[in-house]
Chain A
Amino acid sequence: MREIIWLVPLIPLLSSLALMLGSASFSRWIIGGLGAGSVGLAALLTLLSGIDFLAQPQPYQTTLWTWMQVANFSASISFYFDGLTLVMMSVITGVGFLIHLFSTEFMQEDASYARYFAYLNMFVAAMLILVMADNLLLLYLGWEGVGVCSYLLVGFWYQNSANGQAARKAFVVTRIGDTAMALGLFLLFTSLGTLDIQQMVVEANNLWLVGDMLPVVACLLLLGGAVGKSAQLPLHTWLPDAMAGPTPVSALIHAATMVTAGVYLIARTHGLFLLAPSAMMVVAVLGIVTSLMAAFTALMQSDIKRILAYSTISQIGYMFLALGVGAWTAGIFHLMTHAFFKALLFLGSGAIIHCLHHEHNIFKMGGLRSKMPVTFWSFMIGSAALAALPFTAGFFSKDQILLQAYQLPEYGIWLWLAGLLGALLTAIYSFRLVFVVFYGKANTQPDKEVGWRMAMPLSALCLLALIGGYFIIPVQDVFPALSEEHPAHWVEYISISVPLIGVAVAYLLFYSKRLNINPLVQSAVGSKLGEFWRIGWAVDRLYDGLFVRPYYAVSALLKSEPVDGFYGLVVSVNQCFNRWLSQSQNGQMRWYLVSMVAGLILLLTLALQISPEAS
């Protein structure tokens, strides 16, 4: 069955084209059916090829046609199918299908129903091309494709100019990373002579030694692309603003799939990163620092979607930490479980926003437990998985990451401690969300409970978030094996207990309110620090001062075209002389004559002055 994997991205692409071209004549049922059905079909094909692959786990490569060929450079449209691709494809099509189904109800009343599904299907197609690509150029095509779709969907409600701003910010900030990545591709091609991922890794191992300069530079450039797409420090500022898009879009693009493309890229090119230990170190440190910063910020947010956005940044930080310490499998495993529970949380928040007249502020919600039971249980399970409570999906993946980090020699213990602090914060902010939104007194009355098209994906994702941790992802042939030794038991016990402590703290703070930290929060230092965290460590303000304002100043300066001004000066001086001299051409013959005589007299005088010496 694996011969037909090229159909998987093709079906959503065709459906997207059909929706773009023929939307005027389609009814809402056809649009929804086409949009969700095409992704469902892709999911089915992925499932069939996955079963085939698990029976016979050999990588499969297929070349459809040669894309371009110039001199000794050639790129082909070819797909590579192995365990890692299978995991990514399953997440994209599986979670993608559930989110599409959810969207059919969520977007029911929207005027641009067809446009929405056209963009969303195009996104799925581009994302599939990204993960299935056999060479980095095709991967880059998918990479830019998802960027465009993200831009279109963040700015989906374009009548509000703030949404357009957010879309532009997302596009421009990720573009900075994309530029670094393009440079990385150039460097890899000039030094290795190929962009084929498998071949490239072989070549790199022949040419370079561990710790050489070139692989470090190439890996850092690739990391630049990954950092931009995956919203890690220092290019993470776009993701919270990208929440301006419809909530299912946030679930699909900005939580489950696109933002994890950077993680996929690093995992896919891990052969190169193994040659550059210092680049891996950078990945790990970036990951853990981003994770902590985002977790602190998430603690202070009051917009439900922004909490989840910062939480996503924080969780991707964990994945980067895993990649940085060489725990490739754990990183991809966390990617998958995160896709389950974060999509669940986003869809749950979408359900709340849908039923609460577009209310985003969690302090205006409250007491929703009895009124929206499906959503409540979704949130409960999603938050438990996010906080990594025992036996949920997040527990298994996060535990693996922390243990692998701990086993790293020298600085491993520090990464582990920082990771634990992050886990504690994660538990606090996720259960703060649950307690504030679903308990306490009701501030807003929901006007409806979700319908089956919303409830079905929520329940399916609940199930995945609960049992996802027991899946064994078939990537043992893709990544190098890690040492099997286990650290001491107390390390594991601490890892398990920290999230529980976090939940207890959240309970005391936000449910029973027995723990009163108001004096601390309201003190001078406390309130300043809280505000500092709330605005995301003032990174936006910093960038505004460092880049945006100087850019505006320079463009204001250039608006008057100073260079043209100089050449304009030359022109106007000439024109001035011209006007002055053309005055003498007044058409009066007598005037000409007088000037002729005057000139003659002048010349004669000069001649007479010179001639005495000549004679």
Chain B
Amino acid sequence: MDGLNIPLNHILLLSSLLFCIGMLGLMIRRNIIFILMSLEVMLNAAALAFVAAGAYWGQPDGQVVFLLILSVAAAEVAVGLGLVLQVQRRFKSLDMDSANRMRG
């Protein structure tokens, strides 16, 4: 491993920072598109942690899991966008708070 030598700690810090930003976005955004994007950020934060850990241990597993997360994210976006369309059609809005019919 030559070139850039970034300590694992930094990467993990970045990764958790990204995760928290994503989660914060999930909690405070009302627009469903932004919620999906925040979700994407969180997934990528996790993926980043895997890649970093794989590089640190010199194992390919991290990158394997990254590929898995990539495909999961792609599938999630496909389903999520479908849901976005449905929400838009039904509620004529992208506000997530208006879709609260399942209250107890």
Interface residues of A (CB under 8 A from B): 581-590, 593-594, 597
Contacts and interface: CB of A to CB of B under 8 A. Distances in A.
From B23, B30, B102, B104, residue with most partner A Cβ within 10 Å: B104
A587 to B, nearest CB: 3
A587 B100 contact: yes
A593 B102 contact: no
A589 B26 CA distance: 10
22 contacts: A581-B104, A582-B104, A583-B104, A585-B103, A585-B104, A586-B100, A586-B103, A586-B104, A587-B100, A587-B101, A588-B97, A588-B100, A589-B96, A589-B99, A589-B100, A590-B28, A590-B96, A590-B97, A593-B23, A593-B27, A594-B27, A597-B23
A583 B102 CA distance: 12
Given A582-B104, A588-B96, A589-B100, 19 more contacts: A585-B102, A585-B103, A585-B104, A586-B100, A586-B104, A587-B100, A587-B101, A587-B102, A587-B103, A587-B104, A588-B100, A588-B103, A589-B99, A590-B26, A590-B27, A590-B28, A590-B30, A590-B97, A593-B27
A358 to B, nearest CB: 73
B93 to A, nearest CB: 14
6 closest A-B pairs by CB: A585-B104, A587-B100, A587-B103, A582-B104, A586-B103, A587-B102
B74 to A, nearest CB: 22
A584 B104 contact: yes
Contacts, number: 35
Interface of B: 23, 26-28, 30, 96-97, 99-104
A583 B103 CA distance: 8
Contacts of A582: 104
Contacts of B27: 590, 593-594, 597
B91 to A, nearest CB: 13
A593 B100 CA distance: 14
Contacts of A593: 23, 26-27
A587 B102 CA distance: 5
Contacts of B97: 588, 590
B35 to A, nearest CB: 8
A587 B100 CA distance: 4
A362 B60 CA distance: 124
From A582, A584, A588, residue with most partner B Cβ within 10 Å: A588
A63 to B, nearest CB: 75
Nearest to A585: B104
A68 B28 CA distance: 85
A585 B104 CA distance: 5
Contacts of A584: 104
A500 B23 CA distance: 118
Nearest to A584: B104
Contacts of B96: 588-590
Nearest to B102: A587
Nearest to B28: A590
A593 B101 CA distance: 17
A590 B96 CA distance: 8
B40 to A, nearest CB: 16
Contacts of B26: 590, 593
A548 to B, nearest CB: 54
B24 to A, nearest CB: 9
A594 B25 CA distance: 11
Contacts of A587: 99-104
Nearest to A600: B23
A587 B104 CA distance: 7
Contacts of B103: 585-588
A151 B104 CA distance: 61
A67 to B, nearest CB: 65
Contacts of B99: 587, 589
Nearest to A583: B104
A593 B24 CA distance: 10
Contacts of B28: 590
Nearest to B104: A585
Nearest to A589: B96
B72 to A, nearest CB: 19
Contacts of B23: 593, 597
A577 to B, nearest CB: 13
A280 to B, nearest CB: 78
Contacts of A588: 96-97, 100, 103
From A582, A584, A587, A594, residue with most partner B Cβ within 10 Å: A587
Nearest to B26: A593
A590 B34 CA distance: 13
Nearest to A594: B27
Contacts of A597: 23, 27
A589 B100 CA distance: 8
Nearest to B30: A590
Contacts of A581: 104
A309 to B, nearest CB: 72
A65 to B, nearest CB: 70
A593 B28 CA distance: 10
B10 to A, nearest CB: 22
A586 B97 CA distance: 10
Contacts of B102: 585, 587
A582 to B, nearest CB: 4
B99 to A, nearest CB: 8
A73 B26 CA distance: 85
A602 to B, nearest CB: 16
B95 to A, nearest CB: 11
A582 B104 CA distance: 5
A590 B103 CA distance: 13
Nearest to A582: B104
A593 B29 CA distance: 12
A583 B104 CA distance: 7
B104 to A, nearest CB: 3
A588 to B, nearest CB: 5
A588 B23 CA distance: 16
Contacts of B100: 586-589
From A583, A585, A586, A590, residue with most partner B Cβ within 10 Å: A590
Contacts of A594: 27
A604 to B, nearest CB: 13
A75 B79 CA distance: 85
B79 to A, nearest CB: 15
B42 to A, nearest CB: 11
B90 to A, nearest CB: 14
A268 to B, nearest CB: 75
A158 to B, nearest CB: 58
A347 B56 CA distance: 124
